A and B are shown apart, each in its own frame.
Chain A
């Protein structure tokens, strides 16, 4: 923190937000696709938690869930496209009835298969067969773990979720996840527990590694530090708490032109629970379709072409703030 930075950010809250596309144009930056290497599959919004920072507003009452027919169409798309990475997310993807079929079919279709987990859902004994399958197929687990402070974590994710997450991490460590030499990768994702930006990833990873090991004996492979995206339930909270304008300005004031080249939307295509395609999971939340055109996965011959357009909105400032978003 320095006075110039603090002044710039606090003063910026008084100015209107420039549209994201205008900011790109002013900096003579082109945002278009490179080679698409990652398929992200959002299997639905059903979740056992109702986190206050969720950009999709996932929760126990959500009905959106990928059907068997759509799951088969997504598997066929992955087979004919040849992605390097397949990334399964939700909601809590563990709650989709087709999740085991997806894992079994997809693991041989890409060198790296990942599943995003909120951790607490893994404590249910009904998930034991699934966690065994994840271990067997060497699926990378990317787990939400915003803070090692229980009160702040529970405030964001719900009462008791912090302890449930610790229990799940211990269970995964006991299975070999996160342990060196096992080939079972366990990564953590940390989000700020409010309307402020994340700590630089390297510093955060070192601190989490020290604290988790010392307090709970927990180990992991990597930590990713992401800013909260001002969409869905998080946007509602920003609005209700009077933080929306200042948060948007804070993101925009940290615009880093160097982050544009590495943006995930340049190399990722996201498919929603109903089979429609998006440039990223945030555009899915905003219902901004792939390149601006509504396209179903069953009509795609392969990955989007390099050089094709990417739909943008003001939420894109989240991914260009500071070091960027991966």
Chain B
């Protein structure tokens, strides 16, 4: 194995159902229901998915939802902003823990 991630592996995703078909069916039914038009549009849901795909760093999801966002009517400027939103949250989540660091420094320092 020369790399852990191969684009063709995405086509094997359904094989995950072979050992536990009931659980796989429940997951895919739920997944499809989540992405159907609801209070949020399909376009908005695809943008959220694209952003989260970057946060969880899933190359399969980035591939699928980049195409998905374009085909749901988002443009590259909107998609880039979505990635910045998740980056801000992810970076902010690290930075806000600096408060803990400062609390500990205060507690153990003279």
Binding site for B on A (CB under 8 A): 1-4, 6-7, 10-11, 14, 147-149, 151-152, 192, 194, 196-199, 203-204, 207
Query: Could you jot down 7 A-B contacts, CB within 8 Å?
Result: A1-B64, A1-B71, A10-B11, A14-B8, A149-B77, A196-B71, A199-B73
- B10 close to A7 (CB less than 8 A): yes
* Chain B count of residues within 8 A CB distance of the other chain: 27
- B14 close to A7 (CB less than 8 A): yes
Distance between Cα atoms of A252 and B70 in the complex (Å)? 19
- B11 close to A3 (CB less than 8 A): no
B residues 26-47 in Cβ contact with A at 8 Å: 28, 31-32, 35, 41-43, 46
Q: B103 contacts the other chain (Cβ, under 8 Å)?
A: no
Least CB separation from B78: chain A residue: A149
Q: Which residues of A contact B11 (CB under 8 A)?
A: 7, 10-11, 14
Distance between Cα atoms of A205 and B76 in the complex (Å)? 18
Distance between Cα atoms of A147 and B79 in the complex (Å)? 14
Q: Which of B42, B43, B64 contacts A6 (CB 8 A)?
A: B64
A sample of 16 more A-B contacts (CB under 8 A), given A3-B64, A203-B42, A204-B73, is A1-B46, A1-B64, A1-B65, A1-B68, A2-B28, A2-B35, A4-B32, A6-B68, A7-B11, A10-B7, A10-B63, A10-B64, A11-B11, A147-B75, A192-B70, A196-B67
- B28 close to A3 (CB less than 8 A): yes
Distance between Cα atoms of A207 and B41 in the complex (Å)? 11
- B76 close to A197 (CB less than 8 A): no
Q: Which residues of A contact B13 (CB under 8 A)?
A: 3, 7
Q: Which residues of A contact B43 (CB under 8 A)?
A: 199, 203, 207
Query: Do A6 and B10 contact each other (CB < 8 Å), given the known contacts A1-B64, A203-B41?
Result: yes
Q: Which residues of A contact B67 (CB under 8 A)?
A: 1, 6, 196
Q: B72 contacts the other chain (Cβ, under 8 Å)?
A: yes
Distance between Cα atoms of A279 and B71 in the complex (Å)? 28
Q: Which residues of B contact A152 (CB under 8 A)?
A: 75-76
Q: Which residues of A contact B8 (CB under 8 A)?
A: 14
Q: Which residues of B contact A11 (CB under 8 A)?
A: 10-11
Q: B49 contacts the other chain (Cβ, under 8 Å)?
A: yes
Distance between Cα atoms of A201 and B77 in the complex (Å)? 21
- B10 close to A2 (CB less than 8 A): no
Distance between Cα atoms of A74 and B106 in the complex (Å)? 88
Q: Which residues of B contact A1 (CB under 8 A)?
A: 35, 42, 46, 49, 64-65, 67-68, 71-72
| Smallest CB separation, B26 vs chain A (Å) | 13
Distance between Cα atoms of A149 and B77 in the complex (Å)? 7
| Smallest CB separation, B53 vs chain A (Å) | 11
- A196 close to B70 (CB less than 8 A): yes
Least CB separation from B7: chain A residue: A10
Distance between Cα atoms of A11 and B49 in the complex (Å)? 21
Least CB separation from A199: chain B residue: B73
Q: Which residues of B contact A192 (CB under 8 A)?
A: 70-71
Q: Which residues of A contact B46 (CB under 8 A)?
A: 1
Least CB separation from B75: chain A residue: A149
Distance between Cα atoms of A148 and B78 in the complex (Å)? 11
Q: Which residues of B contact A148 (CB under 8 A)?
A: 75
| Smallest CB separation, A26 vs chain B (Å) | 22
Distance between Cα atoms of A194 and B69 in the complex (Å)? 13
Q: Which residues of B contact A4 (CB under 8 A)?
A: 14, 28, 32
